[in-house]
Structure 1
Amino acid sequence: MIDLFITYLRNNASLTDGEIDRVVSLSTPRSLRRNELLLQEGQICRQKGFILKGLLYTAGSAAGEDGEHILQFSAEQNWILDAESYDQQIPSRFNIAAVEKTELLVWGRNDFEGLREEIPGLTKFAQQLISRNIYSSRQRILAALSGTPEEKYTSFVRNNPGLLQRLPLRMIASYLGISLKTLTRIRHAQIQR
């Protein structure tokens, strides 16, 4: 499975084989069972992970509300962490959990930050990922604020075709900020067309 990560870095980052070997050498394989937490609300995020196989979600609760709001799904070939907790070393307001059996590589914060100091290409690559995540988050916020439930669902299907069959409808509804009843109605209407 580590070969998947090596291929990912070769295709996406400008790192030498030696630098890739160094990054891999400080990683630790980790397996999560379905519904197992990688990070629990209230813990400090002390590691970042790369998903080799599987699917995770990030969710939090709004003050005074029951249930959780899913903010993000992360599948294969994606990085996962609570950036705010990781950067500021404060308790997380989110849970990160496995939707299905998941295989990851994880790096402790000190190890990864040491790698960033040691390997300038890794820092540049990390900055590019942060920029892409900011762009993606802004697009999601705009869609959430201005899109109809039908538009949100259509956009989700278009942008995440591989996730549709892997997620329970209740999780998709939470991610879209709509009720399960509304999502079921939308899906039924689309089938009727």
Structure 2
Amino acid sequence: MSPIKIASTQHPVIDLIKNRWSPRSFSTQTISQESLQTILEAGSWAPSANNQQPWRFIYGYRGTPGFDKIVAALAPGNQPWAKNAAVLVAAVGVKELPDTQQKNHYYMYDTGLATSFILLQAQSMGIYAHVMGGFNKQHLAEEAAIPSNEEPVVVIALGYADDAEKLEEPYKTRELTPRNRKPLDVISAELV
């Protein structure tokens, strides 16, 4: 991994988090079914409000019709590089509580937590993930027969990182730019 992609933190943070980043350049190496199931299993263990687990993961392997359907739903800015991922996973949130059909106000938050567990599990296995919000939700919902009480939240590209030089601009420059974050004093404050 490029040293510019290792997070330079203000405080000690575990390496798994410091080393996690979102590449756009993916190698041709495939992800085994066993590895993908491990990654998705990690997502299933995320905390959720009332343990409702209001998420589903719909995926396709590169070279399959399911993968092509997910790629077709991606925004034009994501298609050129995401088409090279080994697997694309759509994280889908369940908007209603199954027992009562009442609105689940936390489904987006909970689906985000499950997605973060997926990212960290993948990273621990040397598999990189790039989360995308740039996609047509309606198109994906139609292609994947997602019911109206569910909503595609994000699409995750999974794969093994490759050389940035194989990317076209502006993706190559983005791949080679150091990571940064807002300082803690900007995003946090003690309530007194």
Q: Which protein is richer in strand relative to its size?
A: 1
Q: Give the number of the structure with larger relative contact order, counting CA–CA contacts within 8 Å between residues 6 or more apart.
A: 2
Whether TM-score is above 0.5 comes out as no
How would you bin the TM-score normalised by the shorter chain? Answer: under 0.3
